[in-house]
Structure 1
Amino acid sequence: MAAAVLAAAYADVGDTARAITLLAAVLIDAKRILGHDHPDTLVTATHLAALYLRDGFAEKAFAIFDETLAGCERTLGLDHPDTLAIREALPILRQQYRPRQA
């Protein structure tokens, strides 16, 4: 998954658009090769969702976060630390990134 590392490097230097493009391709490959609910696929999806959120695409990010949480619950179980981390972080992130009311 060298491409995932490269995507993280792009994100670190502020090239979020390139990081998203690359990581989206990595996620497609991970789903095809490893399966939708493989732990590495779920981690990649979480990273992609975080990039979308960082770049202002909250709706897309939360769709991926929700899908990833469901995958974690199926694969890792309801009490797994990764499942709990996503479940606990989502309400906080939704509060921070909800659309502003006029």
Structure 2
Amino acid sequence: MATKKSDNKIHKIGMIGGSMKSFMGNIHRQAIERTGSLKIVGGSFGTSKQASYDFIKPLDLNVDDLFPSYRDFLRREKTRKGDKKLLFVSAVLPNTMHYPIA
């Protein structure tokens, strides 16, 4: 999904999967940073709470936006309104997990 860089707005996104040990997680994070218009603001990033915590440390994310499961994360996101809503959620998972989570 392309975003307009000219509007200088930072669009909030979430991520499921893509822990620090994930090759594709690193690729996704680098691509997101390079856009200059997207920022990961929350998600469920690994198979354990520690993996998710390790993910958020270098990104300076709020621990309140870290979720132990993708279900908890998506449940909270459904309640967001207005400018608090995410533009999208990136699913950085093994291929077999994309459909069940989407």
After TM superposition, the score normalised by the length of structure 1 is 0.30
Which has the higher Rg, Structure 1 or Structure 2?
1
Q: Between Structure 1 and Structure 2, which shows a larger proportion of strand residues? A: 2
Say which structure, 1 or 2, has more relative contact order (CA 8 Å, 6+ apart): 2
Q: Between Structure 1 and Structure 2, which shows a larger proportion of helix residues? A: 1
